[in-house]
A and B are shown apart, each in its own frame.
Chain A
Amino acid sequence: MNAATLHRKNVKMMRHGIAKVLLYTFLIAFGIFMVYPLLWVIGASFKPNDEIFKSINIFPSKVVLDSYVKGWQGTGQYTFGTFLINSFKLVIPVIIFTIVSSTMVAYGFARFNFPLKKPLFGIMIATLMLPDSVTLIPRYILFNRFGWVDSYLPFIVPALFASHSFFIFMMVQFLRGLPRELEESATIDGCNSLQTLIKIVVPLCKPAIISMSIFQFIWTWNDFLNPLIYINSVDKYTVALGLRMSIDGTSVIHWNQIMAMTVIAMLPSIIIFFLAQKYFVEGVATTGLKG
């Protein structure tokens, strides 16, 4: 190798190195830019009220916990704790029923042949694209007739009937990727289809079930329009409604309290995200959920 080619090689490597450094710099800067608003609101929730808009600094000059104490108490007779408990009362049954119903339905679609299977599956896929807004009003009228308004039933009962086609689709995709040998041998051993589902299929579907629970948690927890429509009394308010009430109710003076409650409203999603990141990304990637 003569000196000229060696030199050219070095230049090429250097250029490659510089490109890498530039790329990493960009990715890091962009990452900070993306996460900054979240870090800022967390920092701001610990700042004294008059310091919040003084600088773009994340860290407070002195940590104040008063925002959390007062924000938690709120202005009315209900604390933020009530709203948190309410949200869990709504979200947990929705998740459990979604898992049970969607897994069952997906099992039916993925493992059995029955009359009209193809058109029914087609309809299921089509409802993925059906805008919620077009069914919103009659559904409200229907639930109003049932006397379900101002309760969590408008959320829980649809979950019982596998109304979230996304999750059925996701499970069907997952089941199609699973080998059937285990199920077939279970049948030979005398299991009926329900026993096979519970003993063989469900344990194998654990990753998909975890993804499903995470997404259902995030969506239901963050949902605002449906609670806004269905829940009227403050003692049944979810976190979303409680937070919305606190920005309406308090004057602009108590910024740090509102920020503290914003952080609390976000916290469950953040915890779940970091605990189960893998399932998040896989869930989105395999089915293209809206996230």
Chain B
Amino acid sequence: MKYYRSKNYIGLLYISPWIAGFLLFKLYPFVMSFIYSFTEFSILDKSVFTGLDNYIYMFTKDKLFFPALKATLAYVLMTVPMKISFALFVAMLLNMKLRSINIFRTAYYLPSIFGGSVAVSVLWRFLFMKEGIVNKFLGFFGIKSIDWLGNPDVALFTVSLLAVWQFGSSMVIFLAGLKQIPNELYEAAIVDGASRMRKFFSITLPMISPVMFFNLVMQTINAFQEFTGPYVITGGGPMNATYVYSILVYDNAFRYFRMGYSSALSWVLFLLIMVFTALLFKSSSYWTYYEDGGK
């Protein structure tokens, strides 16, 4: 131990790239976007301080702000619960000590490796076209063709299905969590004559709750920032139904070069994400269970 303590500053030397990177690429932009949010600023001109104008404009005049907010909230509230419950359900099936579980795990994880790529969004567009194979498939069951991408009531759901399809990483995290639950708990429950449902609610769910919490937080933060899917699959349409917040920020910054205004937009998104995360953290003390009795 002495060795490590005597070389006090060498550690700092090792982490110095990260410190520099943090200051330059994280902290500085973070502070600057707050400052820019009170200015009018296109990259070409100097920035002009405009006080709260950007924020006032956002809430009173920008016709796309509330639709974007609505689409994003709907996207988050659809995607995250669907993805997580799906991931947990499948992880529980795979945890039943089956043979060849690896093959299944591979198949279920495979879609996740494409993340938010253009390729997978293009694929989605083809699958859900009016004459696409999803409608063909539904036709076998006598279901009439659905306008998955053109109907404003359905388009956002179609886009969020892409994220649900990619539940693989949540599943793997759940699977790792499920493996850690000591078998004795279930054995004791069986001796006590507990039903399957009872075992799930009284053992599995409490024991998995920290993992659930982690998944919820990370998935929520990601879902709020979704860009590629809605941008490539539906281009924000139809009738702005999939015009999520990130597209609004992108359009203002890089199509209209309103850097000040888009900074203000991104700060509102940031605060929204913080509020959601804080709520999750706050509520977690009621529903997460830590064996050592909390932190």
Query: Which residue numbers of A lie inside 8 Å of B, CB to CB?
Result: 23-24, 26-27, 30-31, 34-35, 37-38, 40-41, 44, 53, 55-56, 101, 104-105, 107-109, 111-115, 117, 120, 123-124, 127, 129-142, 144, 158, 160-163, 168, 184, 187, 193, 218-219, 221-225, 228-229, 239-241, 243-244, 247, 255, 258-259, 262, 265-266, 269-270, 273, 277, 280-281, 284-286, 288-291
Q: Check B116 against A139 for contact (C-beta < 8 Å).
A: no
B26 with A262: CB separation less than 8 A:
no
26 contacts between A and B (CB under 8 A): A31-B103, A34-B107, A35-B110, A53-B131, A108-B10, A109-B14, A111-B4, A113-B5, A113-B11, A114-B10, A114-B15, A115-B8, A117-B11, A124-B22, A130-B26, A135-B30, A161-B18, A161-B20, A161-B24, A163-B21, A193-B10, A224-B116, A255-B126, A265-B118, A284-B173, A290-B169
A38 with B17: in contact, given A111-B11, A265-B119 (CB under 8 Å)?
no
Given the contacts A218-B113, A224-B227, A273-B110, A131 and B269 also touching, CB distance less than 8 Å: yes
For B139, give the chain A residue with the smallest CB separation: A56
Q: Choose among B20, B43, B214, B224 the residue that contacts A141 (Cβ–Cβ < 8 A).
A: B43
> Which of B62-70, B215-223, B284-292 makes up part of the contact surface?
B215-223
- Cβ distance B129 to chain A, nearest Cβ, rounded Å: 7
Select from chain A the residue with minimum beta-carbon distance to B129.
A53
Cβ of B221 and Cβ of A129 under 8 Å apart?
Answer: yes
Is A101 a contact partner of B26 (Cβ separation < 8 A)?
no
- Binary per-residue interface labels of chain B (173-202) against chain A in the complex, 1 for a CB within 8 Å, 0 otherwise: 101100000000000000000000000000
What's the Cα separation between A273 and B113 when bound, in Å? 8
A243 to B211, CA, bound (A): 36
Would A284 and B169 be within 8 Å (CB), given that A133-B270, A222-B114, A243-B122 are in contact? yes
Please pick, from A114, A124, A241, A291, the residue contacting B169 in the complex, using a CB distance under 8 A: A291
Q: Is B120 positioned at the interface, with any CB of A under 8 Å from its CB?
A: yes
Q: How far is A56 from B136 in the complex, measured between Cα atoms in Å?
A: 7
Residues in B whose Cβ lies below 8 Å from that of A127: 22, 26
Interface size class for chain B? 35 or more
Pairwise interchain contact A225-B18, C-beta atoms closer than 8 A: no
- Residues of chain B within 8 A (CB-CB) of A219 are 115
Q: Which residues of A contact B131 (CB under 8 A)?
A: 53
With beta carbons under 8 angstroms apart, the residue of B17, B22, B133, B224 that contacts A123 is: B22
The reply to whether A115 and B12 contact each other, CB–CB distance below 8 Å, is: yes
State the Cβ distance, B178 to closest chain A Cβ, in Å.
11
Nearest 10 pairs between A and B by C-beta? A112-B11, A161-B21, A108-B14, A291-B169, A222-B117, A135-B29, A138-B29, A138-B32, A285-B176, A114-B11
- List, in ascending order, chain B residues with CB within 8 A of A229's CB: 250, 254
Which residues on A sit within 8 Å (CB–CB) of B3? 184, 187
- Known pairs A240-B118, A291-B172; A138 contacts B113 (CB<8 A): no
Which residues of the other chain, A, contact B43 by a CB distance below 8 angstroms?
A: 141, 144
Chain A residues near B103 (CB-CB < 8 A): 31
**Interface flag for B262 (CB, 8 Å):** yes
Of all chain B residues, the one with the shortest Cβ separation from A227 is B118
CB distance from B175 to the nearest CB of A (A): 7
Residues from chain A with Cβ under 8 Å of B277 in the complex: 129
Query: Of all chain B residues, which has the CB nearest A238?
Result: B118
Question: Which residue from A34, A53, A241 sits with its C-beta under 8 Å from B132?
Answer: A53
Q: Which of B96-135 contact A (CB under 8 A)?
A: 96, 98, 103-120, 122-123, 125-127, 129, 131-133
CA–CA, A15 to B136, complex, Å?
A: 37
